[in-house]
Amino acid sequence: MLLKDLIFDVDDEFEDLQITGITSDSREIKDGYAFVCIKGVNDDGHKYAEIAAEKGAVVVFTERKMNVKNEIVVSDTRELYADMCAKWFGNPADSLKLIGVTGTNGKTSITYMLKSILEHFGHKVGLIGTIQNMIGDEVIQTKNTTPGVYELNRLFADMKNKGCNYVVMEVSSHALDQKRVCNLSFDAAIFTNLTQDHLDYHITMENYLLAKKRLFSMCKTAIVNCDDEYCEKLVEGLNCKVVSYSLGDNSTYSAKAIKYNPTSVEYELVSNNILNHIKFNTGGKFSVYNSMCAAVTAIELGLPIGEISNAIQSIEGIKGRAESVPTGRDFSVIIDYAHTPDGLKNILKTFRDCEKNRVIALFGCGGDRDKTKRPIMGNIATRYADYVIVTSDNPRSEDPDEIINDILVGTTGSKTPIKVITNRIEAIKYAISIAQSGDIIVLAGKGHETYQILNTGTIHLDEREIVLEALKEI
């Protein structure tokens, strides 16, 4: 591809350069590549400008003068790279209807629900998110909630070529801050909630909110949870259509006559001219919010509410989200991804409300991440569970015992029994061994993950397998 077909206003001396590939990773450079220098969190691509030229890059884009061959200085290399990647793959997102979901909790559940609803109406749907990416039924493994900009556009192109007309995607605050989606247009953008998370990156909740808000400058319709305390700031100054949902009365759509069951929720979805019964097969208040959000989005996309409710009722559970593990015993085991204070509180409250005996909470906190939430989660666990097992999550480079000590600070003065078992496998087996009739064991933090990241590397760890092993031992 000629350089002039990748960027606007290129100087005459560069416009006919033949580009054989584009990258922001100097390790990928081959002869004829264009290299884009991007300053990241831990490294700066500008350090590799000279190496890029030596390895065969025919043009190097920078934000400051680096004095390398065929250098072009631009004001924002992230935005430039996003535009280049879109053009490299033929602007595939322009042929797709995009639905973006952002917020601290609920993103994965809502994207899977929307995919199911749209497929119920005969659409082929692409999904991009935390657990995996999907093109219809095809599963594509992923490392990031929102892929890097080159991978994202390659995925859009694949989805377009394989017949997708909708893409439902989780849009992380990191992706928004790093402009991975800055050139996209969303038919609908969803805000679920904002609670403490990722402050190791954003530093303040205000910065976290501002990152999330960027999504709503690129959408036609904003669908927002107005029960969240940050919603008012989020919608302030938006130029798009704003549609709200809540459990109260001051919203476009609301849920009334809610019935909570251990494994489901039921309610009436109410608007000016809509009254329809919704049933979703996962318990908890968060399931009301998630299913209501999915229903409202589908309505705003023009789908009929009666058939939307049928589609929602047919949805089975989502892996790692309030997932019930069959035990064949008279106690229950729930696996959930809850790894934030609000997520942990929600999942524990859900099962405390329907407990027959005790709620046993097993959790840890991730290493190399926001340390301030650790004592908060310790406090929440002791407030909402009857028995707490503190263990390891993904400690990464940190000492897992030091992470646990940070968590225990928040449990000071609590009368709730607490057991510390650093090894997560042993902790799960212990939880199974002490289970009594009617107990609900909540394994929080790992969810869909089937691995654990230690300072010595990544190991296989699937909590479903561990539970089954533990059941054989008792």
Sheet holding 97-102, edge to edge: 138-140, 133-135, 125-128, 166-170, 97-102, 186-191, 219-225, 241-246, 253-261, 264-270, 275-280
Convert the pLDDT of each residue in 346-398 to its tens digit. 899 988 877 678 999 999 999 999 999 999 999 999 999 999 999 999 999 99
Whole-structure pTM value: 0.84
What residue spans define the domains of the chain? 3-88, 92-313, 323-472
Is pLDDT above 70 for 311?
A: yes
Closest CA to 439 of 327, 359, 325, 350: 359
Average pLDDT, the chain: 93
Token couple for 12: 């005459």
3-88 maps to CATH 3.40.1390.10: yes
DSSP-derived pairing of the beta strands 138-140 and 133-135: antiparallel
Separation of alpha carbons 444 and 384, rounded Å = 13
| Residues belonging to the chain | 474
Q: Which CATH class is domain 323-472?
A: alpha beta
**What is the CATH architecture assignment of 92-313?**
3-Layer(aba) Sandwich (3.40)
Sheet holding 71-73, edge to edge: 21-23, 33-36, 59-62, 71-73
Q: Which residue do the tokens 């990544």 mark?
A: 458
pLDDT grade for 181, boundaries at 50, 70 and 90: very high
Terminal Cα-to-Cα distance of the chain (whole angstroms): 64
Convert the pLDDT of each residue in 71-87 to its tens digit. 999 999 999 999 999 99
The answer to whether 3-88 and 323-472 have equal CATH topology is no
Q: List own/partner pairs for 217-221 with CB under 8 A and 24 or more apart.
A: 218/181, 218/182, 218/184, 218/185, 218/186, 218/189, 219/100, 219/185, 219/186, 219/187, 219/188, 219/189, 220/185, 220/186, 220/187, 220/188, 221/187, 221/188, 221/189, 221/300
Q: State which H helix or E strand residue 374 sits in.
A: helix 373-384
